[in-house]
Chains A and B, each alone.
Chain A
């Protein structure tokens, strides 16, 4: 998977013979805050020019742990003269058309304003990013749906942004990142869930972010691989918090989609939660029901990066434990660990199972 030149076009079947898929994790690249200027007030344009935008991490630019590839992207995903994910035409030609993507969920990452240290700047930039997604992406390609990026450390401001997008068919979900200042079940974030549930928008929670905490409970590890693998632990902690703090109980129509953190960890986590809840539920009365019941009914998982057991059929047990209606296919285009829909799920599935994972589950979650 980690090769310098990957010319996939030669080995690809024609789109017409491939079933339509939903891709629940596509990253359109914001090439810099300059592109957001049409939707930023003069105050914030000047602020960005004078002070920039900083996050709770060491380096001004780039990740705390240097990625394994430039911009963590496929070597073949660079459009002429541009950055991966920045050009709709190139993306359509390389990914949407040949893979017959009928529904693509856009999840813009840095510099989206999410997790910016300055909360007011975070609110201004995330708002602009939402306008940018409509102007540059969803209004130009009906297959694509945007995510409402919100300044999640400020619950009230986030709720206002969600209310602004409620009912707008350009948007399919609200987007949060996993690494926040506090575990996402805590009450400062509840206005987000309340607004999302009211708007009928699922809340996608994507790996990464800028909470300022080490990515392990024992502190900062040394290597990129530890961070990359660590996102699965972060996501487990997020789900644990949502369950035990009572978010699902309080917002019974809320749908949570966990994005880019894998999924094979979910059944063992549910077993562990159930077991401890049975013993200690007096301490967590806001989780009124067995944790696995909330997870089974209100949580979905995108598939990439998919765990690859030996033998691969073990994955069938995992999906059985999760429920066949829980898994949403995603490629993570244009990132280096892209899962190719032609090869990513090498299992004998029934037509219905394949359709569910590659398309129908997404349609059901997003109501599209």
Chain B
């Protein structure tokens, strides 16, 4: 597949309003939302007006984030020659306290994604959004959606009710593994806890910067609880996590593990080795140093050319123009990030590409 376009591992279909999901809800829930006046469930993690939530030139007339596959195609897929793009829908289903409501909305959301996005553009693939408030129902939803091979990943937020690796979440991981789905962890919080470990911040900027720390803790939790040991075929993808924090975190985790291994006896391989083998990161935002030499060095610190996945994070404002990657990425690595690494990470991609992928 030498001339194939890039595989974009993070684009966001924006739900224009809860009304868009009405056709996919059963009558009870549709009536409930109408009766109770519920019109939208956008998260505080991405306020719709915030400049980061949607790049200015990608917003719809009137200022809303772009909400159709046609706009996605016109804004990035066509001009970038994108071969495939993975839709990660961010909608507040994980934030709800009523788990029945969350389950109903999750089903509607996944059906909406399949009908309104995947059916509309053959380049699109998607993540199965799950409500971890009820892990068993989440696992059922994974099994239900996985019948459609265009779903290639399970999507969770980095900060939910409990640390990611906790055993209560394991039915989700088990369902992901048995369906050959990657486990995607996306920035964002259900706000059960402050987004910092030292209390609530005062600005969006602070909230957003702290997502990187949330990912560090989330990765620690997945590792410490034994998720990588228990689910040997599960690949974890950190999405919109920032990238450059990874080496320092892996080093600290590895050093501490050497000191206190009996605390987590099921972890028998060094954490940095586990991460290189099992964790992938999308490259927007990259959070790199300002100079070419620095970029070269931090790429070297990452210790692998197989862990980075090309992504635009569309329509979030991470870059201007059409060059989504930080300048100075070597050609060989670019190709791996854009094609080889996504195909290895998302094993179901090949199923739908059939013979065209060697």
Contact = CB atoms under 8 A, between A and B. Distances in A.
B259 A2 contact: yes
Given A222-B166, A237-B210, A308-B251, 13 more contacts: A2-B261, A178-B198, A221-B163, A221-B217, A221-B221, A226-B224, A232-B216, A233-B213, A233-B214, A240-B196, A244-B201, A280-B51, A305-B252
A224 B264 CA distance: 9
Contact of B197 (A181, A234, A276): A234
A12 B248 CA distance: 30
A229 B252 contact: yes
Contacts of A307: 248, 251-252, 255
A40 interface: no
Interface stretch (B60-68, B119-127, B231-239, B281-289): B281-289
Interface string A226-265: 1011101110111011001100000000000000001011
B287 A214 contact: no
B197 A233 contact: yes
Contacts of A271: 244, 287-290
* Nearest 5 CB-CB pairings of A with B: A216-B217, A264-B248, A237-B196, A217-B214, A268-B244
Interface of B: 51-52, 158-166, 189, 192-206, 208-210, 212-214, 216-218, 220-221, 224-225, 242, 244-245, 247-249, 251-264, 272, 285, 287-290, 294, 297-298, 300-301, 303, 317
Contacts of A81: none
Contacts of B252: 229, 232, 262, 264-265, 305, 307
Contact of B199 (A182, A219, A224): A182
A103 B323 CA distance: 52
10 contacts: A1-B258, A215-B217, A218-B221, A225-B220, A267-B289, A275-B285, A317-B297, A321-B294, A336-B259, A337-B259
Given A245-B202, A280-B204, A305 B248 contact: no
B247 to A, nearest CB: 7
Contacts of B52: 276, 279-280
Contacts of A32: none
B218 A265 contact: no
A184 interface: yes
A169 interface: no
Contacts of B193: 213-214, 216-219
A145 to B, nearest CB: 27
Residue of B165, B200, B205 with highest tally of chain A CB at under 10 A? B205
A283 interface: yes
B247 A314 contact: yes
Nearest to B204: A283
B3 to A, nearest CB: 32
A1 B249 contact: no
A309 interface: yes
A180 interface: yes
B257 A225 contact: yes
Contact of B202 (A186, A222, A228, A308): A186
B123 to A, nearest CB: 29
A268 B209 contact: no
B87 to A, nearest CB: 24
A225 B205 contact: no
A113 interface: no
Given A180-B198, A181-B199, A268 B205 contact: no
B217 A233 contact: yes
Contacts of A186: 202
Given A226-B220, A229-B253, A317-B301, A217 B263 contact: no
Given A226-B163, A279-B317, A211 B204 contact: no
A199 interface: no
Contacts of B251: 264, 307-309
A269 B202 contact: no
A283 B242 contact: no
Nearest to A336: B259
